Chain A
Amino acid sequence: MDAIASPSVPDVKGASGAGVRIRVRGLAKRYGALEVFRSIDLDVGDCEILSIVGPSGCGKTTLLRCIDGLIPVDEGEIWVNGTRVTQPIAGMAMVFQHFGLFPWKTVYGNVAYGLKMAGASKAEIAERVPHFIAMVGLKGFENAYPYQISGGMQQRCGLARALAVEPSVLLMDEPFAAVDAQTREILQFELLRIWEQRPTTMLFVTHSIEEAVLMGDRVIVLKGRPSSIAETIVVDLPRPRTRETLREPRFAALREHVWSTLLSEARRAEFEVGGGL
């Protein structure tokens, strides 16, 4: 790579104007003999949404967990907001695939959790929590327990919990994979609406091509075993993106493009059972 690969001095505020929020260089992760991914390089700009797609088991969730600092990497470096990530850092929040709500806490308690851990005062919590509960459309459900609300509402709660700490980087781990199809669509546009209201840098991991294109400013496709970045596709669709976006020819073309990249990979993988060379 070029000069920016220099590990000691991360060039956080890029000369291009927009700051680089996430910088990943030469990342590799192994579980014993199994190499999950290798030589991953990423730059995600301020308020950019980067979608990551790939076939099941390609390590996209693992990559996200590495970036959050939840699991150690074997090679390479991750910088977020100019800080080298070796464990979870402030300014970053994750939305979990299975929501990760605590069943013994109410919606209010769950949304307040991140703030509490960040050391916010009682007054601050009392002021901010209702705001974010309203933002995700859960007003009136503050005292409901997770078992009392639908999956879609549970993920709204998970989103509010992440937003409440006002992160500059939001990590989304297949956030809508565990809800039904209609709810998923509703939540996608909800998230876009919230993003317009309050833009943040976002890494959006999904296995849905449509979702990746709808959300992302760029889409990266992971492929191979171990996987690496096969292609980066710039999504030049205007924002705000709405249901209309889905009907645009450009959207269909981009979706087809990502799909063919993935398909060639999926085909190859299918005939490579047992791990060919």
Chain B
Amino acid sequence: MASLDASLAKPIAKEAPRRRALGVSGVFLPRLLAGLAIVLVWEASVRAFLPAYVAKPSTVLLAIPKTVVDAAFLAATADTLGAVAQGLGIAVVIGTLVGLVIGRSPTADRMLRHYVNGFYAVPMIVILPLLSLWFGYTSATRLATIVYAAIFSIVVNVSDGARAVPREYMEVARSFRAQRLRGLFEIVLPAATPYFLAGIRLAAGRALIGAVVAEFFTAIGGLGYFILFMSRTFRHDEAFVGVALLAAFGVGVDVFVAWCTRRFLPWYRRDERSA
């Protein structure tokens, strides 16, 4: 039997307890206090200065029970989130492939870099009239807007990640005679996963904005249109329930990505010694 390192005697540290050391009160309490403060300031200023029909937290809260069972609201929500999921899916697949190629091929980088950065900088709102000319006032326009809004953050992040893969990993892959394509998917992709997740985080937010903006423009229904319609008919409380849902989606994506990072990338940010 082999003789072992002295350090072998030390058990592998389970890191979970340290992460939770702050505990519920340490994380949750400040969060709750900040939320309460925002709500109170909002409530007080509306009551003090504005007419009664302007939405305030108390009336929005009261509107939640009847809005969330409203068939129109549910259909609009399903419509929008479905489109966002679909568009995000397309953007993730295509964006990841394009990002990997740009990140690993200097030729592709030279060819595409400025275009990607250019399109990334163009606000989706100026593209929308063009898209609606091409696709009409249909859900295809919304889908195209979502893909456009989401794809470039993924391309930019994945290509950055693919470029940043340590040279040593690529040498190990070559030394063990990995084919180029396998190296791309088995070394570059996992090594770039943290960047990929950061890209998804940005892309999800932008996709949602894209969906809502498209719905504002084309009146094809969905949550954005619901919010617009409600506020134009002076049902601000209902409109704000829709807004709150959008905000919750943003938080949800963040929480989901953070959970994915912990669950699937236990090595991330703890690999300084092995890098």
**Residues on A close to B: CB < 8 A?**
65, 68, 70, 87-90, 93-94, 96, 98-104, 113-114, 117-118, 134-137, 141, 144-154, 165, 182-183, 186, 189-190, 193
Contacts and interface: CB of A to CB of B under 8 A. Distances in A.
A102 B7 contact: no
A149 B12 CA distance: 7
A152 B175 contact: no
Interface in B1-21: 1-8, 12-13
Contact of A153 (B8, B169, B177, B267): B8
B172 A186 contact: no
A244 to B, nearest CB: 16
B266 A145 contact: yes
Contact of A100 (B1, B169, B178, B193): B169
A59 B64 CA distance: 72
Interface in B174-207: 174-178, 182, 187, 190-191, 193
A186 to B, nearest CB: 6
B7 A88 contact: no
28 contacts: A88-B176, A93-B176, A100-B168, A100-B169, A102-B169, A102-B191, A103-B267, A103-B271, A103-B275, A104-B190, A104-B191, A104-B265, A113-B172, A114-B176, A117-B178, A136-B2, A137-B2, A137-B4, A137-B8, A145-B270, A146-B271, A146-B274, A148-B13, A153-B8, A182-B6, A186-B3, A189-B3, A190-B2
Contacts of A118: 176-177
A153 B174 contact: no
B171 interface: yes
A14 B3 CA distance: 38
B273 interface: yes
A153 B274 contact: no
A230 to B, nearest CB: 28
A120 B135 CA distance: 50
Contacts of A186: 3, 5
B274 A147 contact: yes
Given A102-B190, A145-B267, A113 B176 contact: yes
Among A90, A99, A141, A189, chain B packs the most CB atoms within 10 A around the CB of A99
Contacts of B182: 117
A165 B7 contact: no
Contacts of A190: 2-3
A165 B5 CA distance: 24
Interface in B251-271: 265-268, 270-271
A147 B267 contact: yes
A132 B171 CA distance: 22
A104 B174 contact: no
Contacts of A89: 177
Nearest to B168: A100
A107 to B, nearest CB: 11
A151 B272 CA distance: 11
Contact of B267 (A98, A137, A146, A183): A146
Contacts of A182: 6
Contacts of B270: 145, 147
A88 B182 CA distance: 16
Given A104-B265, A145-B267, A146-B271, A90 B5 contact: no
B274 A154 contact: yes
Given A94-B175, A117-B177, A104 B6 contact: no
Given A70-B174, A94-B172, A150-B5, 5 more contacts: A98-B275, A102-B169, A145-B271, A146-B267, A150-B7
Contacts of B272: 147
B175 A101 contact: no
A144 B12 contact: yes
Contacts of A183: 5-7
Among B177, B178, B266, chain A packs the most CB atoms within 10 A around the CB of B177
A113 to B, nearest CB: 6
B267 A96 contact: no
Among A87, A103, A154, A182, chain B packs the most CB atoms within 10 A around the CB of A103
Nearest to B179: A117
Interface string B162-175: 00000011011111
User: Nearest 6 A-B pairs (CB), nearest first?
Assistant: A137-B2, A103-B271, A146-B274, A150-B7, A100-B172, A147-B270
Given A103-B275, A137-B2, A152 B7 contact: yes
Contacts of A152: 5, 7
B179 to A, nearest CB: 8
Among A144, A147, A165, A183, chain B packs the most CB atoms within 10 A around the CB of A147
B223 to A, nearest CB: 37
